[in-house]
Copies of this chain bind each other. A is one copy, B any other.
């Protein structure tokens, strides 16, 4: 069949910005931001690297597109619920997104710092969140404070300080010292870790329940905000 394009090179559907971004997100989900490269995205799409530049200006703009893609996955605000429920559900949805895309928080944070303005989806997300607070009776001043207080719980940091089960693929380059030495060097961490592992009655296995901890912190912050609001009224 002369003139027929090489099947290995031809993709079923034509290339598009959406297909490029989807492939990029999938690649980053699998191997982290370091494993992401224009060349690998092209390879996965069965396309020559330069073909990507028809749909994204460069790698920087690709990263912005990836942020918009994943932030767009956050559930929209629920209708008809009170402000507190709405904020709570939304932040928990954002957290699930960040857990699905572990590379996202660092990329978002870096972008936030060096770009003049966040990407459109981030802007929309923050805007909707402000609207929820306003509808809940918060003054402008208090909404301003509230956004700062929520801080990284809105986006950009998924709160896992201690990973109890290290990722299976992670090669421990420097093997951690034996538990006794760890306990001697960091007595308070050891004491805390012991207590947490000990009284884990309802929690399956050792270590702490990240989901519970996240919601605990979130609820405490929300309590404080509500108290401030009522005091101002």
Among A22-30, A67-75, A83-91, A218-226, which stretch is in contact with chain B?
A: A218-226
Q: Which chain B residues lie closer than 8 Å to A144 at the CB level?
A: 192, 195-196, 208, 213
Interface of A is mostly: helix
Assess the B167–A32 pair: CB atoms within 8 A. no
Asked whether, in the complex, the Cβ of A160 is within 8 Å of the Cβ of B113, the reply is yes
Q: Map CB proximity to B onto A106-135 as digits: 1 under 8 Å, 0 otherwise.
A: 100110111111100001101110110010
Q: Could you list which residues of chain A lie within 8 angstroms of chain B, going by C-beta atoms?
A: 32-33, 57, 60-61, 102, 105-106, 109-110, 112-118, 123-124, 126-128, 130-131, 134, 140-141, 143-145, 147-149, 151-154, 156-161, 163, 166-167, 170, 172-174, 176, 185-189, 191-192, 195-196, 199, 208, 213-214, 216-217, 220-221, 223-225, 228
Cβ B127 vs Cβ A188 within 8 A? yes
Please give the count of copies of this chain that the complex contains: 2
Q: Tell me whether B170 and A159 are in contact (CB under 8 A).
A: no
Are B145 and A151 in contact (CB-based, < 8 A)? no
Chain B nearest Cβ from A148, distance in angstroms: 4
Contact A189–B152 (Cβ < 8 Å): no
Contact assessment for A123 and B161 in the assembled complex, using a CB-CB cutoff below 8 Å: no
The 7 closest A-B pairs by CB, nearest first: A116-B166, A130-B188, A148-B213, A152-B152, A140-B195, A149-B217, A127-B186
- Flag if A110 contacts B114 (CB, 8 Å): no
- Report B-chain residues with C-beta under 8 Å of the C-beta of A199: 141
For the A-B complex with A123-B186, A145-B213 known, give 8 more contacts whose Cβ atoms are closer than 8 Å: A112-B160, A112-B161, A127-B188, A134-B191, A140-B192, A140-B195, A144-B192, A148-B213
- Which of B110, B131, B149, B196 lies in contact with A188, CB distance below 8 A? B131
Task: Please indicate the chain B residues that have their CB under 8 angstroms from the CB of A185 in the complex.
Answer: 123, 127
Which B residues are in CB contact (< 8 Å) with A213? 144-145, 148
In the bound complex, residues from chain B placing their C-beta under 8 Å from that of A221 are 149, 220-221, 224
> What residues of B have a CB within 8 angstroms of the CB of A102 in the complex?
113
> How distant is the Cα of A141 from the Cα of B105 in the complex, in angstroms?
28
Closest to A218 in B: B149
Cross-interface CB contact of A220 among B149, B160, B217, cutoff 8 Å = B149
